[in-house]
């Protein structure tokens, strides 16, 4: 009996076997939009037993050709499967809701006797895209007393909060993508990033500030460029000091000695 | 002889491929929250790996139970009751893993896979997958440590 099985085992293993599972799931999708999740595989004439889709650990769709009907859907918050276009390789979700965000997994099994199985998983986030562009507030009141130039960037509410990146004279400020986040009652998040430029007082050239907000590949927007000018401009060189983790300063090609610190808040 | 060698090479390369593949698989599966039970067993003793096959709906039925060793793409033990009563289901045990040391006990609460004479090489994470006719598939894991 077992010898027989072993023979079958090696025979199927070498010639007819499930392999090369490819899972295609977008990293993010807009809330309310439709999305098709693709799971491709090579069976090499091995019979298919089942294709199972999970969100986190919950099965939400399966395709078992021997069952009638072959497809079955299990409810999840924010899930609406379009069964008419879903099959053994893909599942189409209509009007995705925010609770659906999570790890999506495709598990394919060949039929008896071996039930060879492959699994792949990928994260997908159902996102609320910001409505509008980020805005900058500049406070240079402290400059006259030798204090810092303070700038703050706010992105419109979104889920999850977009990443914010500062640009000073069109140069990206390293390590400035983190930001503090405030959650509102609809669980939307407002990203906020604060930039402090110290040692600006006295002699410096015009500084152009810009803030960029990005959310996956769904959203990328820039604030208006804010130009901060001294009352009596004088030529000099500018040294930008990045955040302490950066380990050193970098020169920007415009003027005055300018020490630069980025403050990253952590208000949750 | 040449034929034998090439077949062996094929098998070895297939095993390497499986190991690599399963490493990725394991990294993948770490993110989800399938229930996990930790069990310790002394080498040489028997162990009973739990696997809940109870049906939420009395009209539903268990079709198939598959046991996987996390690092193998093929189940190491299966109970196939798709075209017969589950009590008469066809059982299969991988010769290279538990072979005839394993026996499934569906009547236990919860059901268990008994494995006699545990070896050090049996230390692994095992996954039990229960396929029902109607209900959602149920997965659970046992992290088996051999002392």
Nearest 5°: the CA angle A1, B113, B20 is 80
Helices (H) and strands (E) in chain B, counts: 1, 9
What pLDDT is attached to residue A231?
62
First-to-final CA distance of chain A: 63
What pLDDT is attached to residue B33?
80
What pLDDT is attached to residue A230?
67
Total residues belonging to chain B: 147
Residue identified by tokens 């769709």 is A61
CATH of the domain at B70: 2.60.40.10
Are B32 and A54 inside 8 Å of each other by CB?
yes
What pLDDT is attached to residue B3?
43
* A139/A95 same-domain check: no
* A14/A119 same-domain check: yes
* A77/A160 same-domain check: no
- Model confidence pLDDT, tens digit, residues B106-117: 999 999 999 999
Q: Report whether pLDDT(B63) > 60.
A: yes
Residues facing A160 on adjacent strands: none
Q: Report whether pLDDT(B19) > 60.
A: no
The pair of three-digit structure tokens given for residue A143, joined into one six-digit string: 């400059």
* B80/B131 same-domain check: yes
* A244/A158 same-domain check: yes
**Structural domain for B55, as ranges:** 36-146
- Residue A67: its chain B contacts at CB < 8 A? 133
Reported pTM: 0.78
**Cross-chain CB nearest to A117 (options B28, B68, B90):** B68
Q: How does B128-138 read in b/e, with b if 16+ C-beta sit within 10 Å?
A: bbbbbbebbbb
* A139/A261 same-domain check: yes
Strand pairing class (B138-146; B36-41): parallel
Distance from C-alpha of A46 to C-alpha of A43, rounded to nearest angstrom: 5
Are A50 and B78 inside 8 Å of each other by CB?
no
What pLDDT is attached to residue A229?
78
Most B CBs within 10 Å, among A109, A111, A125, to test the B interface: A109
**Cross-chain CB nearest to A119 (options B28, B66, B99):** B28
Taking only the tens of pLDDT, chain A with its 268 residues reads: 444 444 444 444 445 689 999 999 999 999 999 999 999 999 988 999 999 999 999 999 999 999 989 999 999 999 999 999 999 999 999 999 999 999 999 999 999 889 999 999 999 999 999 999 999 999 877 777 777 888 999 999 999 999 999 999 999 988 765 567 778 777 899 999 999 887 665 556 788 999 999 999 999 999 999 988 766 544 444 444 443 333 333 334 343 334 444 443 333 3
Write down the H helix ranges in chain A: 2-14
Rounded to the nearest angstrom, the minimum Cα separation between B28 and chain A is 6
The pair of three-digit structure tokens given for residue A80, joined into one six-digit string: 């609406």
What pLDDT is attached to residue B32?
53
* B21/B51 same-domain check: no
What pLDDT is attached to residue A73?
97
First-to-final CA distance of chain B: 41
3-class DSSP state of A30: strand
Are A6 and B95 inside 8 Å of each other by CB?
yes
What pLDDT is attached to residue B11?
42
| Domain final residue, candidates A127, A156, A181 | A127
Using a 10 angstrom Cβ sphere, with 0-12 exposed, 13-18 middle and 19 or more buried, the burial of residue A48 is middle
Using a 10 angstrom Cβ sphere, with 0-12 exposed, 13-18 middle and 19 or more buried, the burial of residue B32 is middle
| Residue B12, C-beta contacts closer than 8 angstroms, at least 6 positions apart | none
**Structural domain for A119, as ranges:** 2-127
What pLDDT is attached to residue A201?
58
What pLDDT is attached to residue A202?
57
* A169/A78 same-domain check: no
Residues facing A92 on adjacent strands: A36
- Residue A6: its chain B contacts at CB < 8 A? 95
Nearest to A234 by CA among A199, A201, A261: A201
What pLDDT is attached to residue A200?
65
* B13/B58 same-domain check: no
Q: Residues of B numbered 96-135 whose beta carbons fall under 8 angstroms of chain A's beta carbons: which are they?
A: 99-100, 131, 133-134
Q: Which residue of B has its CA nearest to A68?
A: B133
DSSP state of A232: S
What pLDDT is attached to residue A203?
57
Residue identified by tokens 């039930």 is A115
Q: Report whether pLDDT(B15) > 50.
A: no
**Cross-chain CB nearest to A121 (options B7, B31, B74):** B31
| Domain final residue, candidates A69, A99, A127 | A127
Are A2 and B95 inside 8 Å of each other by CB?
yes
Distance from C-alpha of A241 to C-alpha of B130, rounded to nearest angstrom: 58
* B89/B29 same-domain check: no
What pLDDT is attached to residue A236?
43
pLDDT: which is higher, B8 or B63: B63
- Residue A119: its chain B contacts at CB < 8 A? 25, 28-29
Most B CBs within 10 Å, among A71, A117, A124, to test the B interface: A117
For every residue of A150-181, DSSP letters joined together read: EEEEEPPPBBSPPEEEEEETTEE-TT----EE
Number of structural domains in chain B: 2
The pair of three-digit structure tokens given for residue B10, joined into one six-digit string: 């094929």
| Residue A45, C-beta contacts closer than 8 angstroms, at least 6 positions apart | A15, A16
Strand pairing class (A207-215; A226-228): antiparallel
- Residue A73: its chain B contacts at CB < 8 A? none
Q: Report whether pLDDT(B16) > 70.
A: no
Q: Report whether pLDDT(B77) > 70.
A: yes
What pLDDT is attached to residue A250?
36
């Amino acid at each position: 009996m077992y010898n027989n099985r072993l023979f079958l085992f090696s025979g199927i293993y070498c010639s007819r076997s499930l392999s090369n599972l490819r899972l295609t799931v977008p990293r993010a999708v807009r809330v309310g939009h439709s999305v098709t999740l693709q799971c491709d595989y090579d069976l090499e004439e091995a019979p298919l037993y089942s294709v199972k889709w999970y969100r986190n650990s919950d099965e939400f769709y399966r395709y078992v050709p021997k069952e009638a009907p072959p497809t079955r859907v299990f409810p999840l918050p924010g899930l609406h499967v379009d069964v008419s276009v879903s099959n053994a390789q893909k599942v189409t979700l209509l009007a995705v809701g925010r609770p659906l965000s999570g790890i999506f997994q495709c598990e394919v099994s060949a039929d008896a006797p071996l039930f060879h199985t492959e699994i792949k998983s990928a994260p997908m986030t159902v996102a609320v895209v910001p409505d509008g562009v980020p805005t900058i507030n500049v406070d240079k009141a402290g400059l006259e007393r030798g204090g810092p130039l303070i700038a703050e960037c706010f992105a419109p509410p979104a889920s999850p909060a977009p990443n914010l990146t500062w640009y000073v004279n069109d140069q990206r400020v390293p390590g400035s993508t983190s930001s503090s986040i405030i959650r509102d009652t609809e669980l939307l998040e407002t990203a906020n990033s604060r930039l402090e430029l110290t040692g600006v007082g006295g002699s410096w050239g015009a500084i152009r500030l810009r803030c960029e907000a990005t959310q996956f590949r769904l959203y990328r927007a820039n604030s208006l460029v804010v130009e901060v000018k001294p009352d009596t401009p004088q030529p000099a060189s500018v040294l930008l000091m990045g955040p302490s983790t950066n380990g050193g300063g970098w020169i920007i090609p415009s003027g005055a000695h300018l020490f630069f610190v980025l403050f990253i808040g952590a208000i949750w | 002889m040449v034929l034998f060698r090439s077949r062996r090479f094929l098998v070895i390369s297939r095993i390497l491929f499986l190991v690599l593949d399963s490493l990725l698989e394991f990294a993948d599966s770490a993110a989800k929250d399938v229930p996990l039970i930790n069990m310790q067993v002394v080498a040489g003793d028997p162990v009973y790996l739990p696997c809940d096959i109870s049906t939420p709906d009395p009209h539903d039925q268990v079709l198939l139970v598959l046991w996987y060793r996390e690092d193998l793409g093929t189940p190491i033990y299966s109970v196939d009751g798709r075209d017969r009563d589950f009590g008469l289901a066809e059982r299969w045990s991988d010769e290279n893993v538990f072979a005839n040391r394993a026996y499934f006990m569906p009547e236990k609460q919860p059901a268990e896979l008994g494995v006699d004479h545990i070896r050090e090489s049996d230390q692994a994470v095992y996954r039990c997958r229960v396929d029902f006719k109607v209900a959602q598939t149920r997965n659970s894991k046992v992290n088996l440590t051999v002392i």
